[in-house]
Amino acid sequence: MFRNASGFGGLENTPLARPYYYRNFIDRGWEKDFIQEIANTSILEPLTGCNQSIQFMKQPMPTPWRRYDNNQLLVPETIVPEGMCVALCHRAYKAYKFDKVQIRHLCERFDAFESSLLDATYQVLAKEWRCQLLTGMAYESSKQNKGANAGADCNINLGTRAAPLQITGANIADSIARLRVVLEQSNQWIEGQMFIVLPSVARLAISNSPYASALEMGSCVDCSTLVTGKLPGQMHGFNVYMTDRLWSEFDNGRLTYAVVAGNRNAYAFIGDIVEGEIENLQLTFGIVYKMLAEWGGAAIQPEALAVAHMSFSV
C-alpha cells in the first residue's frame, strides 16, 4: 500500500477510492470427473424417468456334465433364473435464497455469479458421487477377488484392512500385477476396458519404480514419468486413475486405502439433478433456486471387480 511523504495513507485508504470489479470468479479447483471412465453410466438411465427399479438377469450357470453308461436313465436338472434388482437409494436437495435487491445491486455481475455458483454446486455433488461409487465397488466386489486369500486357488494376497500390502517403488508393479491375475482367473479381463484407481500418494512410489524409467523401455518416446509428470500409458494393461476419494482408514499410525480395479462395465451407476426450478417467495421480494438430485448404483458383475488394501510408504 502506497503512503504519502507525510506518512499518512493515500487515496486508496479513503471512501473516495474507486474499486474495479473483475468480471470473472476465481475457480476453487475441482477434481476431474472420471465416473464415466470406470462405471456404466447409461444402463440405469430409465431410473431417472418413470421406472423405480431395473431387473437384471444373469446368464445361467449349468452344473458339470454327468457321466453316461449304456441304457442309463437320465436325471434332468432344474435351472432357476438368477437375477437382481437395482434402484436409486440416494436423494438430496439444494436450495438458495436471494433477494431481488441483491440481484439488482450485483448488476451485470449476477449472471457470472449465478453460473459460478451452479457449477460449484454440481461439483460438490459429483464429489459425493465419486466417493460413494468407489466405496460401493470396494464392498460389492466378489469375495474371490479380495483379501489375503484371493484368486481361483486362494493363494494371492491382496491385503486386508488389518494387514494391508506395504507398497514401495520396488513392489508396486508386482502388487498391480496381482490384481490383473485375479481378474484373469475370474475370466473378466477385456483388453482396453480395464481400470485401476490409485490414491494420489501412489505417485511417490511410482517415481521410484520401473515405470519412472519408461523412456528406456522398448520404443517408448517422451514418456518418462520423471520428465513429463504423466503416467506412461497403462500399467499392466490397466487404465490408471488417481483420486483421494478412495475408501481409506487410519489405524496404528498407518493409512490404508481400498484400491479398486476392474472392468468399466462391472458397476452400474447413475446420478442426475432431476428437478430444478426458481420460485418467487410470497410476501417478499425473495426468490429461491431449488434443485433435487438422485443417484445410486450396484455391482452387476461383482466378479469383474477386484480390491487390494494398500498402505504406501512416504
- Domains detected in the chain: 138-264+300-312 (3.30.2320)
DSSP run (H or E) holding 249 = strand 248-251
pLDDT category of residue 220 using cuts at 50, 70 and 90: low
From residue 312, give the alpha-carbon distance in Å to each of 127, 205, 228. 23, 7, 23
Least confident of 109-113, 125-129, 267-271: 109-113
CB neighbours of residue 112 within 10 Å: 14
Q: Is the pLDDT of residue 5 over 90?
A: no
Q: Is the pLDDT of residue 229 over 80?
A: no
* Three-state secondary-structure class, residue 185: helix
The pLDDT assigned to 83 comes to 81
Burial bucket for residue 106 (CB in 10 Å: 0-12, 13-18, 19+): middle
Name the residue among 279, 277, 280, 235 with its Cα closest to residue 259: 235
The pLDDT assigned to 134 comes to 95
Rounded to two decimals, the pTM is 0.82
Residues 145/303, Cβ–Cβ less than 8 Å: yes
Least confident of 22-26, 34-38, 111-115: 22-26
What is the Cα–Cα distance from 230 to 24, expressed in whole angstroms? Answer: 30
Write the CB contacts of 277 (distance below 8 Å, at least 6 apart in sequence).
290
Residues 194/240, Cβ–Cβ less than 8 Å: no
Higher pLDDT, 40 or 226: 40
The pLDDT assigned to 110 comes to 84
Kindly state the average pLDDT of the residues 102-110.
Answer: 81
Residues 55/83, Cβ–Cβ less than 8 Å: yes
What is the Cα–Cα distance from 179 to 158, expressed in whole angstroms? Answer: 8
pLDDT category of residue 52 using cuts at 50, 70 and 90: confident
The pLDDT assigned to 137 comes to 95
- What is the pairing mode between strands 194-198 and 54-58? unpaired
Out of 165-174, 201-210, 228-237, give the one with best mean pLDDT: 165-174
What is the Cα–Cα distance from 29 to 310, expressed in whole angstroms? Answer: 27
Q: What is the pLDDT of residues 264-282, one digit of tens each?
A: 999 999 999 989 999 999 8
DSSP one-letter code for 255: E
The pLDDT assigned to 9 comes to 61
What values do phi and psi take at 62, rounded to 5? Answer: -70, 155
Q: Is the pLDDT of residue 114 over 90?
A: no
